[in-house]
Amino acid sequence: MNRKLIPALASLVLMYSATAWSQEATMATINGQDEYQLSGYIECGGEATSTIKPGERFIARELSHGEGYWEVYLKSGISGNIPRNRIRLLPDEPLAKLNYESCKKEWRKLRSKPIKNTDVVAYSAKKYHGVANYYKTLLQASEGDAKAFAQFDSLSHMDGEAGEGHEETTWVLLHVAGDDTFAKLLAGQSSNVREGYAEFFADFGTAFFSIPKAYIKLHFPKTYAILYGNAAQQTKADQKPIEEVKARAEAGDAESEVELGLSYTNGEGVAKDQVEAVKWFRKAAEQNYADAQNDLGASFYNGKGVAKDYVEAYEWLLLAARQGDEDAKKKVTELESKLTPEQIADGKTRARDFKPR
């Protein structure tokens, strides 16, 4: 994935992608009794220095370029590289919480500046999605403004560099808003929106860990409970066996076909397999099942399990929208800003000629 983002988030990108890593991060401290002068950078805020004192805890991960240096992340949010011989690992300690407070300061600066086309996220949000001031929206959402959060969520289907940058910012917003505020924002959303965030946070890896759910459970327990708690609290008797879902899906029950597709998407009862998920979404979509048509259209929109195809996405989303699916209606509007008049006409023709099986 291309992580080229706006300048304001350049240092954030470095943490995720500038250097590959060879193992999951762990907590560590300085080896020896001498302080260490760290020269590095602070998230969203440029270069910075810090004195690491003996006994101070920080996150550390081995770099893969074989030069004997490890990247460290201090509780202050400053990151940099330290020789391996100056680090003592503490593998039994849970990872500390990442610090993105400098990003909120940067958002305050950027909200009053003109938006340039080089700022791909904010520019796309304004030009194509009607969010006039991306950074003002971020600040308001981080302070618990439900309307601003809805605007932020409306950008979740941006594609290309803008979409990638927005994904990174979703992770930052969780930290800047904090557990109480973010959990309250999620509580006011539909189940579909919460499911989307649950899937995103479950899959969103960083340079420090590839599976974030344990980290979210530790540092954002209220958010974790809203996103994953209900499923975790179900008893085995309450959960529908996957074999039963498969049997009904194979018999042609559209609702079960969607349920099975979501199981493959989320890896619940079966191994994650987005290609298999799309297969079951299509079966239900071809029966004119609106939820499946929306899921299938989103799959083509994002290229998940299938090659990205905006016209194909438009066809299925139109079919779902015509049945009253509000999420599909929103996506149809977004797609129409990306398609040519010829592509729109093609998609409408396909939707008009659609015949349920």
pLDDT in tens, 303-357: 889 999 999 999 999 999 998 888 888 889 989 999 999 999 999 999 999 998 8
- Predicted local distance difference test score (pLDDT) of residue 192: 83
pLDDT in tens, 173-198: 999 999 999 999 999 888 888 999 99
Please tell me the distance from the alpha carbon of residue 50 to that of residue 62, in angstroms, as a whole number: 20
DSSP for 198-267 reads HHHHHH---SS-S-THHHHHHH-HHHHIIIIIHHHH--TTTSPPHHHHHHHHHTT-HHHHHHHHHHHHHT
**φ, ψ for residue 42 (rounded to 5)?**
-115, 140
Please tell me the distance from the alpha carbon of residue 23 to that of residue 173, in angstroms, as a whole number: 26
Q: Give residue 9's pLDDT band: very low, low, confident or very high (50, 70, 90).
A: very low
Please tell me the distance from the alpha carbon of residue 187 to that of residue 194, in angstroms, as a whole number: 8
pLDDT in tens, 215-236: 999 999 999 999 988 544 433 4
Q: Tokens 């990003």 appear where?
A: 103
pLDDT in tens, 120-162: 999 999 999 999 999 999 999 999 999 999 999 999 888 889 9
Please tell me the distance from the alpha carbon of residue 187 to that of residue 185, in angstroms, as a whole number: 5
Q: Which residues contact 324 (CB under 8 A, 6 or more apart)?
A: 290
Question: Are 71 and 81 spatial neighbours (Cβ–Cβ below 8 Å)?
Answer: yes
Q: Degrees (nearest 5) of the Cα angle 17, 21, 22?
A: 160
H-helix or E-strand containing 327?
Answer: helix 326-336
Sheet holding 58-62, edge to edge: 46-52, 36-42, 78-83, 69-73, 58-62, 26-30, 87-90
- Predicted local distance difference test score (pLDDT) of residue 232: 40
Mean pLDDT score of the chain, rounded to an integer?
A: 86
- Predicted local distance difference test score (pLDDT) of residue 191: 84
Question: Are 84 and 68 spatial neighbours (Cβ–Cβ below 8 Å)?
Answer: yes
Q: What is this structure's pTM?
A: 0.61
pLDDT in tens, 76-125: 999 999 999 999 999 889 999 999 999 999 999 999 999 999 999 999 99
Question: Are 109 and 97 spatial neighbours (Cβ–Cβ below 8 Å)?
Answer: no
- Predicted local distance difference test score (pLDDT) of residue 67: 62
Is residue 6 scored above 50 in pLDDT? no
- Predicted local distance difference test score (pLDDT) of residue 138: 97
Number of H helices, E strands in the chain: 18, 7
- Predicted local distance difference test score (pLDDT) of residue 160: 87
Q: Give residue 207's pLDDT band: very low, low, confident or very high (50, 70, 90).
A: confident
Query: Percent of the chain having pLDDT more than 90?
Result: 63
- CA 188 to each of CA 145, 155, 191, 330: distance values in angstroms, whole numbers, following the listed order: 11, 18, 9, 19
Which 3 state secondary structure label does DSSP give 278?
A: helix
